Amino acid sequence: MNLDELPAEDVVALLLDAERRVVPAAEQVRPQIAAAAELLAGRLRAGGRVAFAGAGTSGRIAAAEAAELPGTFGLDRGNVLASVAGDTDSAEDDRAAVRRDLETFALTDRDVLVAVAASGATPYTLDLAQSVPAAVIAVVTVANSPLAQLADVAIEVVVGAEVLRGSTRLTAGTAQKVALNALTTAAMARLGRVHGNLMIDVQPANAKLRDRAAGIVAAIAGCEADVAAAALAACGDSARAAVLHLVLDLEPAAARRRATEFPRLRDALNP
């Protein structure tokens, strides 16, 4: 493919056509994604932590996934760690970065490392995965890589060659993003951080998210938006507690206590 000789529309068409491979490839490893979600949920439920790590594009995708979890699902920020192996092309070969992150993460056998590497052979990511006592989930885009072979669960979304040869920020990057989204969202659902299809533990850190949280409360409690917003404020911005306050007619303090006693809101709603 002589990309430099093609009009922009043809280049875009080739790139978008390559992206069509991603979901079918991810479908092939649906059981592995589900197994990884169960592993992650189990470790978090037992008080463990999760660390996301990688180099280059893979590391940035991993770090972005980690950054979303506390705000979307209410996880303690101290339980969600992330590291990208530096900002230079040589960083993926930096053994000092491995030593630094091993010390920073201080992972134990209660924790999970989500190791993301398109090739499954990136030295930083491979060395880190080999050195931790934590369970390892590998997210790669080739088959039978060294990283996948050492992982407790390997998610191998095999998408083939890139349109721009070797540029794994393209189709491989999309595959990693799809796999990580499915993995973490399924894990959060298993933990009870989702009610129906609603983000019951979303953190209302700004006006838009406060409106979203109030809408979630209104949808579950079957009330008007202004009533939900008032309940949310009374319950310290906890949508989960606001629902219990309205549905079970609990005082805000009692609703907040009950909200912490049950992993799933469905169980807390049963008086």
Angle between helices 239-247 and 225-234 (to 10 degrees): 110
Catalytic residue among 65, 92, 156, 162: 92
Residue that has been written with the tokens 């983000």 in this structure: 199
Q: Is 251 helix (H, G, I), strand (E, B) or coil?
A: coil
Catalytic residue among 5, 19, 68, 251: 68
The token duo for 158 is 């095999």
Report d(CA 34, CA 258) in Å as an integer: 30
Find all residues with CB under 8 Å of 153, minimum gap 6, and list them.
32, 35, 36, 39, 135, 136, 137, 138
Find all residues with CB under 8 Å of 130, minimum gap 6, and list them.
150
For residue 261, indicate whether it is catalytic: no
For residue 92, indicate whether it is catalytic: yes
- Return the beta strands (E) in the chain as ranges: 50-54, 80-84, 112-116, 135-140, 153-156
Contact criterion met (CB below 8 Å) for 228 and 214? yes
Report d(CA 271, CA 265) in Å as an integer: 12
Looking at the annotation, which residues are catalytic?
68, 92
